[in-house]
Structure 1
Amino acid sequence: MRWFLIILLLPYSLAHLNVYLSSSEVWRLFGLTAELYYVRDGLINFYALNFVVPVPATIEELHFTWQSLARRPLPYKIDVQVMSNSEAMDIPAVRPNISTEGTVPTEPTTWKVDLPCTRTVAAEVEINIMLNVSTGSSSTTLHFRRRKICLKEPRRPAVRVDSISHASTSADIFYAGAGCAGGAILIAAVAAVACRARARKLRRARSDEQDAHAFLPDSSCKSAASYTSYRRPTSLPAAAAAEERARDLQQRIAELTIQRCRVRLRSVAMEGTFGRVYKGTYADEDGREQEVLVKTVAEHASQVQVSLLLQEGCMLYGLHHERVLSVLGVSIEDQTAPFLLYPWNNGWKNLKQFLLSCRGVTVGGATAGAPPPPPLTTQHVVRMALHALDGLSYLHSQHVLHKDIAARNCIVDENLRVMIADNALSRDLFPADYHCLGDNENRPIKWLALESLSKRQFSPAADVWALGVLLWELTTLAHQPYAEVDPFEVAAYLRDGYRLQQPANCPDELFAVMAYCWAMSPDDRPTLPQLQIFLRDFHTQLTRFV
């Protein structure tokens, strides 16, 4: 079965003409087996023309297919303009069987536009391909806009389209691309939803399950430093690596140790089976008090649970950024449960609890009968996503993988400013978000990228996948992702090309960003700088209409 990506056809006729992207071209750009029509039977798809399609660094030419449906060829003119960062790209060329002027043939014909990057600078180049077609008494100009990524590095071989299986499934159009609302905004990349038979392999993790790592494949990371949760490259045997991590944790705890007598607990903010979160105060040596949040465990907690609390709580130790909440101190005394202290403000809330309260769901720690917060607008959602992006970008710049990006592991203040926190106690406080697949380890199954779920491979691209799920949580006010899918079936569900559905009232452009994060191959997912550009552009467009 062949599917057609026809988002919206407005009643504007361009004689009898077809202009479209073939299924192989749509596969190259979006990882989707379908055809995308710009003009079909003479009707112009203005919604599709408003796409600013991102072109990956591995693709150096664009393919268009056209056909005159009239009984005669239609005269045309083609012009290709580089709109920005011209130093990153040479003059594009139209080839191979057409010139810049001629007639549209009566048989389906494919023509190409070369996009030769100079490779002297790294930049995103805006390109406008203008096709003017005459119909006798009038003429119409179509604009195909692209954003080409040019890298300052040797060429990487592109994936051969004819070497990839195009087996059609009912999921192939699940992420059929969405349009833009009033002009060219951000992206129209539609995520890859069909499984590739020859997916490019990530670098294998060389540490054990807790510290598996991979390298960032794009130009935003130039060093060879590995990314781990504890910022230590591990090439040691498993036993030696575990001993190294234990020494590292002990050193961190020694540096963070504070006296228990300086901590005053006031009230329970959250409570699980064995974990508790208190609001309290901490007095420093000069007697100055500050509000703190205290994470600890109950008396019946096992040693494994205590170890996890300390290990995960110290994950962000030593990091200082306005979008990252790092541990302030640790209190460990004999025969008592350890305390982890975090700087706190009375206006801060757990992001997942806040989102649930926005739709009237009573959550732990919330005041019964309290009015829900004001409704979130799309501008709010995009701004909050940008805050999380900034925090995650900082973590990656410090060679730290979070591995559990989700609303439950973020906080938000009264001004809707979001900070990323660690995942200490999250398994206990949000048990519905973690599942064990028979391996004796609770994992955030429905937030994990496919390679993390099936192969335990973690990389910055895996954090990007989880960030897409976080964006979905923001737009749905913390609905459970894949609520209808059994945790044991999630991996097969993702391999078959299925993804989260577009939330109600979610703009097409915003869902396109999410879908772009869920590409099957890690190399096809956007980098954090690219996502920042897309979302900032979209936020700017939204504010213009307010």
Structure 2
Amino acid sequence: MKCLMFVLLLPACLAHLNVYLSSAEVWRLLGLTAELFYVRDGQINFYALNFVVPVPATIGELHFTWQSLTRKPLPYTLHVKLGETNENGVRAVDVLHPPTFNISSEGYVPTEPQTWRVDLPCTHTVAAEVEVTISLNVSTGSSSTTLHFKRKKICLKEALRTAVRVDSVPHAPTSADIFYAGAGCAGGALLIAVVAAAACRARARKLRRARSDEQDAHAFLPDSSCKSAASYTSYRRPTSLPAAAAEEKARDLQQRIAELTIQRCRVRLRSVAMEGTFGRVYRGTYADEDAREQEVLVKTVAEHASQVQVSLLLQEGCMLYGLHHERVLSVLGVSIEDQTAPFLLYPWNSNWRNLKQFLLACRGVTLGGTAQGAPPPPLTTQHVVRMALHALDGLIYLHSQHVLHKDIAARNCIVDENLRVMIADNALSRDLFPADYHCLGDNENRPIKWLALEALTKRQFSPAADVWALGVLLWELTTLAHQPYAEVDPFEVAAYLRDGYRLQQPANCPDELFAVMAYCWAMSPDDRPTLPQLQIFLRDFHTQLTRFV
């Protein structure tokens, strides 16, 4: 379907009108507690209107909320249009029965908030997608405005159970509910991010001018909710938050993506660095506005990736946005264009490698089908301790910015030819390193064998949980990326740790270095060393090692 054009938008018509998806509807579709406005006090979110929202087979009805903010109702007309055929030549009438409204096609927008419904009944005779455009015309007599809400309805041959109704939205969602809503709507948090990201572009320019002094500080989270010493955050997983907190959290992610957005035409892909089931990592170049090119690494997803996977790519890729430290690799830019997979760009150097791949290459093992040159020289204990100190420096900086990584591991670090290590985000790690992640029946792949006991059993993350994972990373460095707890079933890891068992001391690992790992794996978070304490010990130990070289 060709892009729909908007008619002239006159302030006299929409200056006192709200059209939005309620928090209940957003929860039903996206698993988030936040409202999504198409028109708020007359301000139109054009990108929300242009975004084609997929409607999964499990959802057969859509809900919109509107309200006239004037003292009298505003006249409206409603109609819906189906695409004639899809890319496979299937007719829309064979896939979808004529959509219907639960209100009249002509009437008045009420002065009180009112929710109306559009029913999209599938025929269940053909499995296909149908483009649906819902058009709302609002007039004041002398002027009128037409808004087009675009949807892509997915229908299957067999009817599926209906999704959660708007009037029965739970207030305390479980992990299974979150997965069902995310996978069913095929939009996840991506819709919130993409829709409002572009809407924030114009406002972001003004904000950047007004906050130029603040931008020099490169704060990770500009809002005050993350400034307290006890406030740590990560955007890896949706949580059950109050509506105001969830909306603030989503708005921050939207603004970050808006500020990071770059033009796709400036990116040139050269070769595939890594590839998984749905994720791909490319080497390429990026040309800035002055036509200066720089080497970049591009993370994206394949054509068959679901919207949930796309959403995770964006959320996890933007986790370290705004952080600037020599031991942290932060995202350089984001490219989001309609109907195409998003690109995440990272500054790159031809001498950089994924740390896990590097460690495996040190013992002659390849991963991901990538070509390897001559094996790197053997790592000494001195090398291992210095690399651990680099990762430790990066983690100390993250915690100073009130950021929990939650997935510290060799796979989420990079190393250069001089064995300097940087911490990166975990975007695509589940796909590129599937053996490191496991699902324990909670519909979420997690790095089970890197998690602290309280993070594994109670989902409690803290700086001490990152310290535990740092101990596992140190064990990876010492063993050249052997799999931790290789003999333990993922379902038994929690009981294994609770009984006091830990990773064994690697061969040729000094007792002093293994003692550091063991301290990191203390049962109680309060008994684990702090990052500054680890830094002091490892520096002293490294100094002792250099005396014998």
**Partner Cα separation in structure 1 for residue 509 and residue 239 of structure 2:** 44
Q: Of residues 292, 307, 317 in structure 2, which corresponds to 1:313?
A: 317
Residues 218-253 of structure 1, C-alpha deviations (whole Å, 9 max, x = no match): xxxx9544111159xx99845544433322221111
Match of 1:361 in 2: 365
Match of 1:423 in 2: 426
**Partner Cα separation in structure 2 for residue 483 and residue 354 of structure 1:** 20
Deviation at 1:313, TM superposition (A): 0.1
Q: Of residues 256, 260, 265 in structure 2, which corresponds to 1:256?
A: 260
Match of 1:470 in 2: 473
Match of 1:280 in 2: 284
8 Å CA contact 1:208–1:238 kept in 2: the answer is no
More displaced 10-residue stretch of structure 1: 241-250 or 282-291: 241-250
**Partner Cα separation in structure 1 for residue 173 and residue 462 of structure 2:** 13
**Partner Cα separation in structure 2 for residue 498 and residue 526 of structure 1:** 19
**Partner Cα separation in structure 2 for residue 474 and residue 344 of structure 1:** 22
Matched, 1:292 2:324: no
Matched, 1:503 2:506: yes
Deviation at 1:345, TM superposition (A): 0.1
**Partner Cα separation in structure 2 for residue 544 and residue 207 of structure 1:** 57
Match of 2:232 in 1: 227
Match of 1:28 in 2: none
Q: Of residues 479, 487, 492 in structure 2, which corresponds to 1:489?
A: 492
**Partner Cα separation in structure 2 for residue 236 and residue 435 of structure 1:** 23
Match of 1:336 in 2: 340
Deviation at 1:475, TM superposition (A): 0.2
Match of 1:413 in 2: 416
Secondary structure of 2:374 counterpart: coil
**Partner Cα separation in structure 2 for residue 228 and residue 320 of structure 1:** 17
Secondary structure of 2:493 counterpart: helix
8 Å CA contact 2:438–2:490 kept in 1: the answer is yes
Residue 463 of structure 2 aligns with an amino acid whose one-letter code is P
Residues 158-190 of structure 1, C-alpha deviations (whole Å, 9 max, x = no match): xxxxxxxxxxxxxxxxxxxxxxxxxxxxxxxxx
Matched, 1:267 2:278: no
Match of 2:522 in 1: 519
8 Å CA contact 1:207–1:238 kept in 2: the answer is no
8 Å CA contact 2:453–2:523 kept in 1: the answer is yes
Q: Of residues 347, 350, 360 in structure 1, which corresponds to 2:351?
A: 347
Match of 2:135 in 1: none
Deviation at 1:371, TM superposition (A): 1.7
Residues 251-298 of structure 1, C-alpha deviations (whole Å, 9 max, x = no match): 111000000000000000000000000000000000100000000001
8 Å CA contact 2:415–2:421 kept in 1: the answer is yes
Deviation at 1:484, TM superposition (A): 0.3
Residues 76-126 of structure 1, C-alpha deviations (whole Å, 9 max, x = no match): xxxxxxxxxxxxxxxxxxxxxxxxxxxxxxxxxxxxxxxxxxxxxxxxxxx
8 Å CA contact 1:257–1:332 kept in 2: the answer is yes
Secondary structure of 1:374 counterpart: coil
Matched, 1:438 2:431: no
Seen in structure 2, the aligned counterparts of structure 1 residues 366 and 475 have a Cα distance that, compared at 3 Å, is same
**Partner Cα separation in structure 2 for residue 282 and residue 348 of structure 1:** 17
**Partner Cα separation in structure 1 for residue 239 and residue 443 of structure 2:** 25
Deviation at 1:364, TM superposition (A): 2.7
Seen in structure 2, the aligned counterparts of structure 1 residues 488 and 236 have a Cα distance that, compared at 3 Å, is closer
8 Å CA contact 1:277–1:294 kept in 2: the answer is yes
Residue 524 of structure 2 aligns with an amino acid whose one-letter code is S
Q: Of residues 404, 407, 428 in structure 1, which corresponds to 2:407?
A: 404
Match of 2:542 in 1: 539
Seen in structure 2, the aligned counterparts of structure 1 residues 508 and 343 have a Cα distance that, compared at 3 Å, is same
Residue 337 of structure 1 aligns with an amino acid whose one-letter code is A
Question: Between the two proteins, what is the percent identity of the paired residues?
Answer: 92
More helix by share: 2
Residues 399-455 of structure 1, C-alpha deviations (whole Å, 9 max, x = no match): 000000000000000000000000000000000000000000000000000000000
8 Å CA contact 2:229–2:402 kept in 1: the answer is no
Deviation at 1:362, TM superposition (A): 1.8
**Partner Cα separation in structure 1 for residue 459 and residue 239 of structure 2:** 17
**Partner Cα separation in structure 2 for residue 273 and residue 235 of structure 1:** 27
What TM-score comes out, normalization by structure 1 length?
Answer: 0.58
**Partner Cα separation in structure 1 for residue 252 and residue 544 of structure 2:** 46
**Partner Cα separation in structure 2 for residue 428 and residue 228 of structure 1:** 23
8 Å CA contact 1:297–1:338 kept in 2: the answer is yes
8 Å CA contact 2:438–2:447 kept in 1: the answer is yes
**Partner Cα separation in structure 2 for residue 281 and residue 223 of structure 1:** 39
**Partner Cα separation in structure 2 for residue 507 and residue 418 of structure 1:** 22
**Partner Cα separation in structure 2 for residue 409 and residue 240 of structure 1:** 32
What TM-score comes out, normalization by structure 2 length?
Answer: 0.58
CA-based RMSD of the aligned residues comes to 2.3
**Partner Cα separation in structure 2 for residue 240 and residue 466 of structure 1:** 32
**Partner Cα separation in structure 1 for residue 433 and residue 548 of structure 2:** 38
Secondary structure of 2:232 counterpart: coil
Residues 382-403 of structure 1, C-alpha deviations (whole Å, 9 max, x = no match): 0000000000000000000000
Match of 2:460 in 1: 457
Residue 545 of structure 1 aligns with an amino acid whose one-letter code is F
**Partner Cα separation in structure 2 for residue 514 and residue 235 of structure 1:** 31
Match of 1:168 in 2: none
**Partner Cα separation in structure 1 for residue 461 and residue 274 of structure 2:** 30
**Partner Cα separation in structure 2 for residue 538 and residue 451 of structure 1:** 30
